[in-house]
Amino acid sequence: MVSRRASSVQYSAIREVFDKAPKNAINMGIGEPDFGPPESARRGLAQAMEMSLDKYGPTKGLPVLREAIAEILSATQPGITQENIMVTCGATHGVMTSYQALFDPATEVLVPDPGFVLYSPDALLVDAEPVPYYLWPEDRYEPSIEHIKNLIGPRTEGIVINTPSNPTGSIISRQAVRAIAEIAADHDLWIISDEVYDHFVYEGEHNSFLPYLDNAIVVNSFSKTLGVPGWRIGYLVAHRKIIDQLAKVGYYSLACPSTPIQYAIAQALPDMETYIKGKMVEYDRRRRRVVELLNRIPGFKCDLPQGAFYTFPSYDQDLSCIELANRIIREGVVCIPGCAFGDAGDGHLRFSYANSMDNLEAGLEKVAEVVSDIPRLDPAACQIRKGRPC
């Protein structure tokens, strides 16, 4: 028998999709940049090997990397030092470590719906209860402050934020960030803010929870910004009052992050801003083209995402999102059913545009062919999906 915790969670729907995909399918599913790391990162990794940096390192991460991260962050948030930084094995490890350090069994954690696939299972794996707060397209997927307030009860200990959002591509306004921080302070809640797409913002600006570290932990990663998802390096930013507790918990799941990879990332950080800016022109071009093509498909509706590299179109074909995604996958295009991200994602699909323009256009042409003969819902008889019109 396995533990109750293990049996309480499902295998990630995103991973299941890839098991079904035919060979040579066009990948519009995974959140993985299609560019590789800058040359400085490659050189840094080679240097680490030449320097025999193959021993264990500190649990919080190499000082050279923590200092480099702090230097970047302190340019916009003065006062952050390496003592606020803990290096993690990607943002995935950072989120789970935060849950383990902060939330007790039988407590509640507010999680976005639709939201990334980690947030609810991570709560269950620490014997806490995930409570969804719903995000809606008519609000540009920005959290409703009143909705969040109404969900807070005596067992609530935290709230998870993701900005820019995976899967919706939305960003949270400065006013909403401030309001959520005030709610957390008033109710003695922890905020876990997943900001791994902070450099992928096309409209408006990224608004971080870094100014609110008294009640917030900010999770980030180099997977997207440096094109190194397989290197598995990220970091947490937290108040000094909690960073030692996070490190203590992190030790028992990881001991320490990879020493040579940390060194390589530290060598690349001076180039990161210039490097990612050079990619954003192309990502913006893809974003606009993919939205244009999705909106040409009868029954599909897609708003222009503000950040990240995902689109989250709704559709009115008379199929569940799982059935529709499976049909599309069988025809050689990988996409993710919206319900993988929560109940409010039903009636949507997620498409990543981290792929070449040729592949994106060919993939969406196939999508249009797949849905062309599927009956559509009559608008007059449109079903109510989770309390909102489809």
Residue boundaries of the structural domains of the chain: 4-36+274-389, 39-270
Closest C-alpha among 94, 120, 131 to residue 222 = 94
In three-state secondary structure terms, 79 is: coil
Class of domain 39-270: alpha beta
Backbone angles phi, psi at 129, to 5 degrees: -115, 120
- Percent of the chain exceeding pLDDT 70 equals 94
Could you report the per-residue pLDDT of 140-169, keeping only the tens digit for each?
999 999 999 999 999 999 999 999 999 999
According to CATH, the topology of domain 4-36+274-389 is Aspartate Aminotransferase, domain 1 (3.90.1150)
Q: Which residue has the tokens 């994106």?
A: 360
Quote the mean pLDDT of the chain.
93
Long-range CB contact pairs, 14-20, < 8 A, 24+? 14/117, 14/336, 14/340, 17/325, 17/329, 17/334, 17/335, 17/336, 17/337, 18/334, 20/326, 20/329, 20/330
Q: What does the pLDDT read at residue 389?
A: 40
Contact residues for 180 (Cβ-Cβ < 8 A; gap 6+): 143, 145, 148, 159, 161, 172, 191, 209
**Residue 81 to residue 74: CA distance in whole angstroms:** 7
pTM of the model: 0.93
Amino acid letter, 366: K
pLDDT band at 9 (very low <50, low <70, confident <90, very high): confident
DSSP 104: -
Half-sphere exposure of 229 (CA within 13 A, CB side): 11
- pLDDT tens, 34-78? 999 999 999 999 999 999 999 999 999 999 999 999 999 999 999
Angle between helices 272-296 and 357-371 (to 10 degrees): 30
How do strand 333-334 and strand 349-352 relate by DSSP bridges? Answer: unpaired
Distance separating alpha carbons of residues 53 and 337, to the nearest angstrom: 42
Please, which residues bridge with residue 157 across strands? none
Give the other-Cβ count within 10 Å of 175's Cβ: 11
Closest CA to 238 of 73, 364, 106, 374: 73
